[in-house]
Amino acid sequence: MKKLLFIFALIALCVSAKAGTPVFTITVSELPYTEGTLYVSATCGDKELLKVAIEVEDDSIVIPVDFSEAIDKEVSIRAFQDLDEDKQLKFDSYGRPVEPFLQTKLIPQKEKTNYGFKLTVLQ
C-alpha cells in the first residue's frame, strides 16, 4: 500500500512539474500564400526543440514550443513554406531560395512568451 501511495505521489509531482512549464509560442504571420505546408524547426546547440509540418490554411500560424531549457541561450529558427509539396526547399540556379523561407536566431526570455516572424520571399 505504501508503494502504491508513493507511486501516485510521484506521478502527481511529475504532472505538476510539467504543468508549471512556461508556454511559449512562435507566430508566423503574413504568409505570402494560403496553400502548401509550413515546415518549422527550432534548435539550441545540438538539441532539437521543435520540428513540425503544418498545413497552411490561413495567412498566420501560431505554434506552441517549449523554450524552458533554452532561456537566455541562442536558438536557431528555420522555416519554409513548401508550395509544391515535395518536402524540400527549392533553390534557383544561383542558390537562392525560390519558396518563402525564414532563417534567424533568438534568445528566449522568461518575460516574453510570443515570438513573431514573417517569411522572406526573394523575387
The residue-averaged pLDDT of 12-34 equals: 75
Residue 108 maps to a domain: yes
Distance CA 73, CA 51 (A): 18
The residue-averaged pLDDT of 32-47 equals: 95
Q: Residue 84 belongs to what domain range?
A: 22-117
Residue 17 has pLDDT above 60, yes or no: no
Residue 13 maps to a domain: no
Q: What percentage of the chain has pLDDT greater than the value 90?
A: 80
CB 42 within 8 A of CB 85: no
| pLDDT tens digits, 43-72 | 999 999 999 999 999 999 999 999 999 999
Report the predicted TM-score, pTM, of the whole model to 2 decimal places.
0.80
The residue-averaged pLDDT of 107-114 equals: 94
CATH of the domain at 87: 2.60.40
In 3D space, the residue among 72, 66, 61, 70 whose CA is nearest the CA of residue 23 turns out to be 66
Cell 531549457 belongs to which residue? 69
Residue 46 maps to a domain: yes
Residue 111 maps to a domain: yes
Q: Looking at residue 96, what is its pLDDT? A: 94
* Phi, psi of 15, rounded to the nearest 5 degrees: -65, -45
Residue 20 has pLDDT above 90, yes or no: no
Residue 41 has pLDDT above 60, yes or no: yes
Residue 2 maps to a domain: no
Residue 1 maps to a domain: no
In total, how many domains does the chain have? 1
Residue 80 maps to a domain: yes
Q: Looking at residue 23, what is its pLDDT? A: 86
Residue 4 maps to a domain: no
